[in-house]
Amino acid sequence: MNAKKISLKDIASKAGVSTALVSYVLNGKEKESRVGHEIAKKIKEIARELNYQPNHLAKSLRSGKTHTIGLVIADISNPFFANIARVVEDEAKKSGYTVIIGSSDEKAEKAWDLLNVLINRQVDGFIIVSSEHSESHIHYLKERNIPFVLLDRHFPDLQTDFVATNNYKASYDAGVHLINGGYERIGIIAYRSDMYHMQERVRGYQQALKDHKFVFKNNWLKEVRFENIEQEVKTAIDEMTSTEDKVDAIIFATYGLAINGLKYINELKLRVPDDLAIVSFGQAEVFDLYYCPITYLKQPLELLGKTSVEFLLAKLKNPDEGMKQILMEAKLIARDSSMAKTSSPVT
């Protein structure tokens, strides 16, 4: 026999208050309805005691809102995105929203399928880590007036809300850090991509060399495909370390590139930082476990996630909310992998 479903009326009866008062409290509106703290506390305790489960379907039908957010991330296997998903989920929960998460695996087609599934699920809005060639998705959402915020990656030619890292400055700082440590032949391994954030990482690195009067060599920049990352990173490192102008330091433009690169550097028995200094984007525990702790660019992961939720909820509350765009600064965490050479640093 099914147990009786607890209603607002049951809670009101036990608390000795009106059903309307219970509704205000359980919908988080006690402050604006001027419900006393003790009464609100009592109602919540009774609701927990009776194991009250709100009828989200009925609530959605009344309000036209599902209190769900679609989060589309680029690669769930990347600790950066996995951690940012958790931040978004926790932050949304504070405001009574559930987050449905999907990973596009850096494929525009899969991102498009996810968007359509989530739109059919009637999510109230989206937080999106865009994949390459997904500009048409953004146009589609804008045309349908579906609220969204771009997270970590944005398209400079499209007017959208976004929360991202200042990738140019982060990569510039990585280059300057290595130059000041006495490294003279600094390379970078990035993805072959039209995505703005990746282009900015390459541009920042190149500008650091230029500003310090270093002559950039084409062999110092290697761009690999995400689909064939393991083999192409190996080829890139082989080419960067086998010529006369071989590099003495490498910046990895993502965590995934760094992990594949470090594996191969070990196979080659190259010593870090004696043979090759390393700086990488992204933070992960594995950087601590490597025999030589890796210098990394720490992106403000928690702030990125929280701000994206804040921006989206503001749009959901007020569709006429003005566009918000913010770039946050990454911090270079210097470790043993980029230890300064004994010679005087370049200034």
The answer on 178 and 126 residing in a single domain is no
Sign of CA pseudo-dihedral 128, 329, 276, 287: negative
Query: Closest Cα to residue 39, out of 56, 59, 14?
Result: 14
Residue 278 forms part of a structural domain: yes
pLDDT of the residue at 55? 60
CA–CA dist 250, 234 (Å, integer):
13
The answer on 295 and 171 residing in a single domain is yes
Q: Read off the tokens for 175.
A: 């280059």
The answer on 122 and 19 residing in a single domain is no
3-class DSSP assignment, residue 107: coil
Q: Which residue has the tokens 């594949």?
A: 260
- 295-298 and 331-333 strand pairing: antiparallel
State in Å, rounded, how far the first CA of the chain is from the last one: 79
pLDDT of the residue at 23? 81
Residue 180 forms part of a structural domain: yes
For residue 240, which phi and psi values (nearest 5 degrees)?
-75, -20
What angle is formed at CA 57 by the lines to CA 53 and CA 63, rounded to 5 degrees? 110
CATH for 16: 1.10.260.40
CA–CA dist 26, 30 (Å, integer):
8
Residue 62 forms part of a structural domain: no
The answer on 314 and 290 residing in a single domain is no
Q: Which residue has the tokens 């490498």?
A: 250
CA distance readout (Å), 4 to 20, 51, 345: 21, 11, 75
E strand or H helix at 221, and its extent? strand 221-224
Query: Closest Cα to residue 183, out of 292, 338, 9?
Result: 338
Q: Identity (one letter) of the amino acid at 305? A: G
The answer on 204 and 319 residing in a single domain is no
Query: Closest Cα to residue 195, out of 207, 205, 203?
Result: 203
Residue 259 forms part of a structural domain: yes
What angle is formed at CA 240 by the lines to CA 237 and CA 246, rounded to 5 degrees? 140
The answer on 288 and 173 residing in a single domain is yes
Query: Closest Cα to residue 25, out of 7, 6, 8, 5?
Result: 8
Residue 39 forms part of a structural domain: yes
Residue 159 forms part of a structural domain: yes
pLDDT of the residue at 346? 47
Task: State the residue range of the domain holding 275.
Answer: 167-299+332-338
The answer on 322 and 288 residing in a single domain is no
CA 132 to chain centroid: 15
In sequence order, the β-bridge partners of residue 187 are 250
Task: State the total domains in the chain.
Answer: 3
The answer on 188 and 126 residing in a single domain is no
pLDDT averaged over consecutive 10-residue blocks of the chain (347 residues)?
68 85 76 74 86 62 73 90 94 93 94 93 94 94 94 94 97 97 96 95 97 92 93 96 92 94 95 96 81 93 96 92 94 95 56
Residue 240 forms part of a structural domain: yes
The answer on 257 and 182 residing in a single domain is yes
3-class DSSP assignment, residue 269: coil
In sequence order, the β-bridge partners of residue 101 are 71
The answer on 105 and 131 residing in a single domain is yes
DSSP letter string, 27-56: TT-TTTTT--HHHHHHHHHHHHHTT----H
CA–CA dist 252, 261 (Å, integer):
8
E strand or H helix at 103, and its extent? strand 98-103
Residue 75 forms part of a structural domain: yes
Q: Identity (one letter) of the amino acid at 57? A: L
CA–CA dist 213, 232 (Å, integer):
30
CATH for 135: 3.40.50.2300
CA–CA dist 101, 248 (Å, integer):
40
The answer on 171 and 131 residing in a single domain is no
The answer on 161 and 309 residing in a single domain is yes
